[in-house]
Amino acid sequence: LANINECDYPDIYPCYGHCRNTHGGYDCQCPLGFKGNASKPNGCEDIDEREHPEEYPCSGICTNIPGTFHCQCPDGTYRDPLMKQGCISATTTKKTFTGGGGHGVVYKGILDLQVVAINKSKIVVQREIDDFINEVAILSQINHRNVVKLIGCCLETEVLSLVYELISNGTLDHHLHFEGPMLLSWDDRTRIAHEVARALSYLHSSASMPIYHRDIKSSNILIDDNLTTKVSDFGASRYIPIDKTGLTTAVQGTIGYLDR
């Protein structure tokens, strides 16, 4: 007696889904994302995943597609829409410890088909103008994979703005201190620490003139989609001529707020 494979004889053993030989019988199942009777023509119907949130979680906007579903964070938020509370706000107000309060608001924009972050100053005070110009001067000198890239700036209008490559995965501060959908592994943490150290080492000793950031903290360290580190916010940084090293390198910020 030979075991026949029913799946080879659809005329006798009809199956309109996935047919599987089960030694002595056969099994006919609807494709993934469909339910019903696969032995009947048109017996499989699409599962509307939106009706089964426990099985198909989506904390963003859920769209049903034949065989699957699409889940997306609402406009202005990003991260992992498949996780509970996985969408977090993309517009973040920057914090500085310089005593002056908010440094500006960061917007997402599109410039020459590239997605960019635009840091727009809130109130134009001389100190802020100085910080922005300082940042342009410093960042335009730096080309390092672990330092955020400055694409352009607009210093002529009433509202100053700096345009950067968009680093869309939030700040290290956020990854470390907020209950997020994705916990950083220890491997990632040590790699991020190493990348920050590499960027600082470059700034201190490989740039044409040593640059001291002076405000390194986790909220100034951005993380991109590949969890690559990007040091940002050079508003407080300074060029230090080599013969003056040690003179004006005092750390900015409030003791107690600085990350250890």
Ligand X SMILES: *[C@@H]1O[C@H](CO)[C@@H](O)[C@H](O)[C@H]1NC(C)=O
Stretch that binds ligand X, among 37-45, 59-67, 157-165, 224-232 (CB under 6 A): 37-45
Distance CA 218, CA 216 (A): 7
Is residue 37 part of the contact set for ligand X (CB under 6 A)? yes
Closest approach, Cβ 20 to ligand X, in A, equals 16
Closest approach, Cβ 15 to ligand X, in A, equals 10
Stretch that binds ligand X, among 36-44, 95-103, 116-124, 126-134 (CB under 6 A): 36-44
Q: Is 83 helix (H, G, I), strand (E, B) or coil?
A: coil
Residue 40 or 177 having the CB closest to ligand X: 40
Contact 129, 175 (CB under 8 A): no
Is residue 39 part of the contact set for ligand X (CB under 6 A)? yes
Residue 39 or 168 having the CB closest to ligand X: 39
87 membership: H or E segment, kind and range: strand 87-89
Catalytic residue among 215, 224, 225, 259: 215
Distance CA 167, CA 178 (A): 18
In one-letter notation, the amino acid at residue 228 is: T
Closest approach, Cβ 32 to ligand X, in A, equals 19
Closest approach, Cβ 22 to ligand X, in A, equals 16
Distance CA 137, CA 32 (A): 55
Helix %, strand %, coil % of the chain (to 5): 20, 25, 55
Backbone dihedral angles phi then psi of residue 62, each to the nearest 5 degrees: -105, 130
Closest approach, Cβ 37 to ligand X, in A, equals 4
Residue 40 or 52 having the CB closest to ligand X: 40
Residues 66-85 that bind ligand X (CB under 6 A): none
Closest approach, Cβ 10 to ligand X, in A, equals 13
| Helices vs. strands in the chain: H and E counts, helices first | 3, 16
Q: Which residue is nearest to ligand X (CB)?
A: 37
Stretch that binds ligand X, among 35-43, 125-133, 144-152, 216-224 (CB under 6 A): 35-43
Residue 44 or 192 having the CB closest to ligand X: 44
In one-letter notation, the amino acid at residue 21 is: N
Residue 95 in tokens:
């914090």
Residue 30 or 216 having the CB closest to ligand X: 30
Residue 13 or 97 having the CB closest to ligand X: 13
Tell me the sheet residues that pair with 114: 111
Is residue 145 part of the contact set for ligand X (CB under 6 A)? no
Tell me the sheet residues that pair with 117: 108, 164
Q: Is 215 assigned a catalytic role?
A: yes
Taken as a whole, the chain contains a residue count of: 260
Is residue 40 part of the contact set for ligand X (CB under 6 A)? yes
Residue 179 in tokens:
């209950």
Distance CA 44, CA 34 (A): 6
Q: Give the residue numbers annotated as catalytic, written as ranges.
A: 215
Q: Give the interface with ligand X as residue ranges (CB under 6 A).
A: 37, 39-40
